[in-house]
Amino acid sequence: MSDLVLFYAFGAFAVLASALVIGQSNPMHSVLLLVASFGAISGLYVLLDAPFMAVIQIIVYAGAIMVLFLYVVMLLNAPREDAAEWDRAHPLRRPGMTRVGAVLALVLVLQLVWALSRTVDVRGAVGADAAAETVSSVRTIGRVMFSDYVFAFEATSILILVAMVGSILLARREGER
């Protein structure tokens, strides 16, 4: 029962923080709220018996990637969106494609919730048939990652190399050699 309470607390916090991320006009606040949202999601990972992923979520996502975002926000020093009246209007009353996008997102969530609430298979408790030890062990994760997924692992290292070269090339000033 306390699990369910924790789930609702973390879930409500994650949804609230994510909604505020897209409701802010200041990107700095958006990034900090997203860090809070990632913290709540890592709490959900703990509830799902995935403590390793919860730690990785905090260290890599909230720590490294979000600091990269913060760094660029501070570097560019362009805190506000351009149009002033753009911020004041309610999303659904804004003109044209923005309104269509907002309505489509609303339809998406209604559709998914409706479909999921009518599915019988997902009503059982999560992991009722599986022991928690099988998924929470870092040893198992490591063994599977370096045997079954070793090709994907190596391909990822090449991807990171390409991304590193690409971002250095893109962010370089023109005219320099």
Could you say which residues in the range 131-160 bind another protein, by CB under 8 A? 131, 134-135, 137, 140-141, 144-145, 148-149, 152-153, 156, 159-160
Report helix, strand or coil for 80. coil
The CB density around residue 36, as the number of other CB atoms within 10 Å, is 17
By beta-carbon proximity to another protein, the closer residue of 119 and 177 is 119
Q: How many residues are present in the chain? A: 177
Nearer to another protein, 135 or 177 (CB): 135
Query: Please, which residue, 88 or 140, has the CB nearer to another protein?
Result: 140
Q: How far apart are CA 40 and CA 8, in angstroms?
A: 11
Q: Which of 124, 177 has the CB closer to another protein?
A: 124
Q: Which of 76, 85, 175, 176 binds another protein (CB under 8 A)?
A: 76
**Closest distance to another protein from the beta carbon of 133 (Å):** 10
Residue 109 in the binding site for another protein (CB under 8 A): yes
- Interface with another protein includes 89 (CB under 8 A)? no
Which of 25, 122, 20, 10 is CA-nearest to residue 57? Answer: 10
Is 9 a residue that touches another protein (CB under 8 A)?
no
In whole angstroms, what is the distance from residue 117 CA to residue 147 CA?
37
Q: How many residues bind another protein (CB under 8 A)?
A: 93
- Per CB under 8 A, the list member of 9, 74, 112, 154 interacting with another protein is 112
* C-alpha 131 chain-centroid distance: 27
| CB of 52 closer than 8 Å to CB of 143 | no
